[in-house]
Amino acid sequence: MNSIGVYIHIPFCKQKCPYCDFFSGSGSEIEYDRYVQATIQKIDYWAQLCDKQVSSIYFGGGTPSVIGTDRLCMLLDKIKSAFSVNDNAEITCEMNPESAKKIDFFKVKSHGFNRISFGLQSAIERELNALGRIHTAQDAKSAVERAKEAGFINISLDLMLGIPFQTEESLKKSIGFCAECRVTHVSSYLLKIEKGTPFYSNKEKLQFPDDDEQARLYMLTVDELERYGYCQYEISNFAQKGFEGRHNINYWKCGEYIGIGPSAHSFFDGKRFYYGRSMQDYYGRKIIDDGTGGDSEEYIMLALRLKEGLVFREYESRYGAPIPPESMEKIKNFAKHGFMEVDKNHAGFTKEGFLVSNSIISDLI
């Protein structure tokens, strides 16, 4: 039986961050209940169509923790009863350190959650304020400690790079903070200023690091996290050995997944599709076709996000042919210039290559 991932989008936040482009907004207890009931129905619908075993479940947002312990457990219980879920499935819930104060970690663990991802973003108060975050670094530390007390081992912290007021020294402090919390995983993303956000409207007034400084911050992050024992396995993700995020690796390996929630994307039975970006679309079951997926070019593009990159035998097994010769020639050329590593088994980016990966990938495919 082939495996599949399940993603549940929780589109609620206590307060929208000024840089966020994800579909999310505030909600009431009544809206939370309505959303959970609608999502339970959709879980049933997709489970009837899916005969594959679920290997990972991911609750993202928005801020899943704002709907509270009982609703999170109710949704997970439904997934586990409707789908065939692997006994060793990775089951993640994103949480904001502030709303996590009301989460019963013992209960969510007893219902099957085994991985928590906290949105730290920075351990520096001035930077957190600039990002519009409603938590402190101490809130994050306390949330991690409470999760550990309940028996959680697999805990991730998010960091943002290229944010207002960030310097190499302040970033080192934030990375050191993650290490002091003794978490097993760190996600570290360069801030992308999206149209339609307050950050985009005020980008001329805010003090963002320029492109060169962003590159230095990224390189520093890779070096510092590896110094603390977090090995890079994907362009923006670092983990202690054995704690790599399996749900996201499935995305980059061109694996199948079902996304449930407004704006949630799916790749299922060779097709890509997603729910419309509004509550009305979601409740009205509006699903938008996004074409077929899983061809060789898409596979190359996604696999190269991973540190191991393209594993040649996996590509050949999937497509019945080796990497096209013209692509291999380009890969070898990029390797000569220090942007890629290549041997008889695989080809992947160096840390310098990750900085210009988009342009290299577009050239390769």
The pLDDT value given to residue 206: 77
What integer best gives the mean pLDDT of the chain?
A: 94
| Confidence check: pLDDT of 20 > 90 | no
For residue 104, count other CB atoms closer than 10 A to its CB.
Answer: 15
Q: pLDDT for 214-235, tens place per residue?
A: 999 999 999 999 999 999 999 9
Say which residues have a Cβ less than 8 Å from residue 64's Cβ, sequence separation at least 6.
Answer: 8, 10, 72, 93, 94, 95
Q: Which CATH number fits domain 307-365: 1.10.10.920, 3.40.50.300, 1.20.58.110, 1.10.490.10?
A: 1.10.10.920
Query: Residue 137 — left, alpha, or beta (φ > 0 → left; ψ -120 to 50 → alpha)?
Result: alpha
Angle between helices 296-303 and 357-364 (to 10 degrees): 160
3-class DSSP assignment, residue 199: helix
Cβ pair 129, 86 in contact under 8 A: no
Sign of the dihedral defined by the CA atoms of residues 88, 159, 254, 82, in that order: positive
The pLDDT value given to residue 173: 98
The pLDDT value given to residue 205: 73
The pLDDT value given to residue 283: 94
| Confidence check: pLDDT of 207 > 90 | no
Residue 66 phi, psi dihedral angles, 5° rounding:
-70, -20
Q: What is the average pLDDT across 277-300? A: 93
The pLDDT value given to residue 365: 81
The pLDDT value given to residue 202: 78
- Nearest of 329, 235, 325, 250 to residue 294 by alpha carbon: 250
Q: pLDDT for 278-289, tens place per residue?
A: 999 999 988 999
Query: Residue 165 — left, alpha, or beta (φ > 0 → left; ψ -120 to 50 → alpha)?
Result: left
Cβ pair 29, 102 in contact under 8 A: no
| Confidence check: pLDDT of 1 > 60 | no
Q: Where would I find the H helices in the chain?
A: 29-49, 69-82, 105-110, 125-130, 137-149, 168-180, 198-201, 211-227, 246-252, 279-283, 296-303, 312-319, 325-336, 351-355, 357-364
Cβ pair 41, 95 in contact under 8 A: no
The continuous run of DSSP H or E covering 157 comes out as strand 154-161
Domains 3-251 and 307-365 share a fold: no
pLDDT band at 193 (very low <50, low <70, confident <90, very high): confident
CA distance 157 to 179: 10
Q: What does the angle CA 267 – CA 270 – CA 272 come to, to the nearest 5 degrees?
A: 40
Residue 190 phi, psi dihedral angles, 5° rounding:
-70, 130
The model's pTM is 0.95
Which class for 20: exposed (0-12), middle (13-18), buried (19 or more C-beta within 10 A)?
middle
Beta strands across the sheet bearing 271-275:
231-234, 237-239, 185-190, 154-161, 115-121, 84-95, 53-61, 3-10, 257-260, 265-268, 271-275, 287-292
Domain boundaries, the chain: 3-251, 307-365
The pLDDT value given to residue 2: 80
Residue 28 phi, psi dihedral angles, 5° rounding:
-105, 170
Q: Beta strand 53-61 with 3-10: parallel, antiparallel or unpaired?
A: parallel
The pLDDT value given to residue 83: 97
| In the chain, % of residues over pLDDT 90 | 85
Q: What is the average pLDDT across 337-358? A: 94
Residue 234 phi, psi dihedral angles, 5° rounding:
-150, 165
CA distance 97 to 105: 13
The pLDDT value given to residue 201: 76
Q: pLDDT for 95-121, tens place per residue?
A: 999 999 999 999 999 999 999 999 999
Q: pLDDT for 133-180, tens place per residue?
A: 999 999 999 999 999 999 999 999 999 999 999 999 999 999 999 999
Does 3-251 carry CATH code 3.20.20.70?
yes
| In the chain, % of residues over pLDDT 70 | 100
Q: What is the average pLDDT across 43-57? A: 97
The pLDDT value given to residue 199: 78
The continuous run of DSSP H or E covering 349 comes out as strand 346-349
pLDDT band at 21 (very low <50, low <70, confident <90, very high): confident
Token pair listed for 177: 């903070």
Q: pLDDT for 87-96, tens place per residue?
A: 999 999 999 9
pLDDT band at 342 (very low <50, low <70, confident <90, very high): very high
